């Protein structure tokens, strides 16, 4: 189908968590995986067995990135999308390591840096985005769970400042935190008290944040509290534009990978060409010009293969426009 920018509608921000990526990192035993188990229709993508003490959860063990790709293929199926709404990656630290290993094996290198300046991490980013952004576009809510790292910064006057950040390397952290719509730190605020989730930190001692500027600074460590915080942040921001672009509806999934009926497209090409040639034999030159534009000079549609489906689609779009021009010629000036 041809793109028509005149048909675009203003984007609406959904108060439903589906379609968003949330990254929660923190100390062990702070309730990160427990929070995940509270999510509706959740599937844990277990890169480590942190779910073993949680009765009734649905979990798929993943021991390699190739298995993650197999799971991704499964999650595209409509019948699987009916079963699950939330996907929990536990832990994102191990998932990142598996992804790096996969890319290194794919390119026969020891380290991502061996591909040259920035190229390895670019491939890492592309791989992560393909999988996890792809899942949000299918309508899943995606949750990353990770470990934290404590850093002590010397202030130079005999004192130091403690900072908390994800345990990921700087490069991996940039990619994964950058993908996340909500980014929080799970920790105990007071000894022997329930954990909290810090979502915003004004003094810079905790790495956190997100795309919603009115998120609460700190909330209880629970799924209900997280959902409420998101909805309140969206509602507050909506007040600034008259509440026109907010919805409670689940965002309609966007296909992550377009599929083509290649044989059907070739049949349609034959039909359109026949129609154009019947109308006027001189259209042959125009048809050849369109085909040359997308397949190369001298190439024929009958010789193209399924890997050239995108080019064939563009040929069909131009031919459809040619048919419209012939059926509705521009008025003479």
For residue 171, tell me if it sits in a domain.
yes
pLDDT band for position 89 (50/70/90)? very high
For 227-236, which contacts have Cβ atoms below 8 Å and span 24 or more sequence positions?
A: 227/17, 229/199, 230/15, 230/17, 230/20, 230/182, 231/15, 234/13, 234/15, 235/15
103 plus 175 within the same structural domain: yes
For residue 112, tell me if it sits in a domain.
yes
pLDDT band for position 328 (50/70/90)? low
232 plus 267 within the same structural domain: no
Q: Which residues have CB under 8 Å from 190's CB, separation 6+?
A: none
Q: How many domains does the chain have?
A: 2
CA-nearest of 83, 14, 17, 21 to 223 is 17
Q: Residue 149's beta-bridge partner residues?
A: 165
Please say whether the beta carbons of 323 and 268 come within 8 A.
no
Cβ atoms within 10 Å, residue 320: 13
Phi, psi of 177 (to 5 degrees): -65, -35
For residue 1, tell me if it sits in a domain.
no
For residue 274, tell me if it sits in a domain.
yes
Please say whether the beta carbons of 50 and 284 come within 8 A.
no
What is the structure's pLDDT at 14? 46
Question: Among 247, 273, 294, where does a domain finish?
Answer: 247
Question: Among 196, 218, 247, where does a domain finish?
Answer: 247
225 plus 266 within the same structural domain: no
79 plus 149 within the same structural domain: yes
Q: Is the pTM of this model over 0.85?
A: no
193 plus 134 within the same structural domain: yes
270 plus 226 within the same structural domain: no
210 plus 284 within the same structural domain: no
For residue 257, tell me if it sits in a domain.
no
For residue 231, tell me if it sits in a domain.
yes
Each residue's pLDDT tens digit, 165-210: 999 888 888 888 888 888 999 998 887 788 899 999 888 899 998 8
What's the CA gap between 71 and 64, in Å, rounded?
A: 11
What is the structure's pLDDT at 329? 63
Each residue's pLDDT tens digit, 59-75: 899 988 888 988 998 99
**What percentage of residues in the chain have a pLDDT greater than 70?**
87
What is the structure's pLDDT at 45? 92
The CATH number given to whatever domain includes residue 180 is: 3.40.50
For residue 208, tell me if it sits in a domain.
yes
Mean pLDDT of the region 110-136? 85
Mean pLDDT of the region 314-325? 87
What is the structure's pLDDT at 202? 86
What's the CA gap between 230 and 226, in Å, rounded?
A: 6
- Domain span at residue 22 reads 15-247
Question: Among 195, 218, 247, where does a domain finish?
Answer: 247
For residue 332, tell me if it sits in a domain.
no
């Amino acid at each position: 189908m041809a793109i028509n920018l005149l048909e675009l509608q203003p984007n609406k921000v959904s108060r439903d968590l589906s379609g968003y990526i949330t990254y929660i990192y923190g100390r062990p035993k702070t309730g990160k995986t427990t929070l995940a188990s509270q999510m509706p229709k959740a599937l844990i993508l277990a890169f480590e067995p942190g779910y073993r003490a949680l009765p009734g959860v649905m979990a798929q063990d993943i021991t390699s990135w190739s298995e993650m790709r197999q799971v991704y293929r499964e999650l595209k199926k409509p019948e699987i999308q009916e079963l699950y709404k939330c996907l929990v990656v536990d832990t994102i630290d191990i998932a990142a390591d598996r992804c790096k290993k996969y890319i290194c094996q794919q390119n026969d290198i020891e380290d991502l840096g061996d591909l040259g300046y920035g190229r390895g991490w670019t491939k890492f980013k592309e791989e992560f985005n393909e999988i996890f952004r792809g899942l949000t576009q299918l309508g899943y809510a995606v949750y990353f769970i990770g470990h934290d790292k404590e850093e002590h910064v010397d202030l130079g006057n005999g004192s130091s400042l403690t900072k908390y950040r994800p345990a990921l390397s700087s490069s991996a952290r940039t990619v994964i935190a950058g993908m996340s719509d909500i980014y929080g730190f799970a920790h105990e605020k007071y000894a022997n008290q329930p954990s909290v989730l810090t979502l915003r930190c004004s003094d810079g001692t905790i790495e956190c944040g997100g795309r919603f500027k009115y998120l609460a600074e700190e909330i209880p460590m629970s799924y209900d509290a997280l959902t409420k915080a998101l909805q309140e942040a969206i509602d507050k921001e909506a007040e600034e534009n008259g509440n026109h672009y907010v919805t409670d509806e689940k965002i309609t999934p966007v296909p992550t990978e377009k599929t083509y009926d290649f044989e059907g497209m070739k049949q349609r090409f034959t039909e359109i060409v026949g129609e154009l040639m019947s109308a006027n034999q001189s259209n042959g030159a125009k048809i050849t010009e369109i085909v040359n534009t997308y397949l190369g000079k001298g190439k024929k549609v009958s010789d193209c293969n399924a890997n050239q489906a995108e080019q064939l689609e563009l040929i069909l779009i131009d031919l459809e426009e040619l048919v419209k021009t012939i059926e509705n010629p521009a008025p003479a000036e």
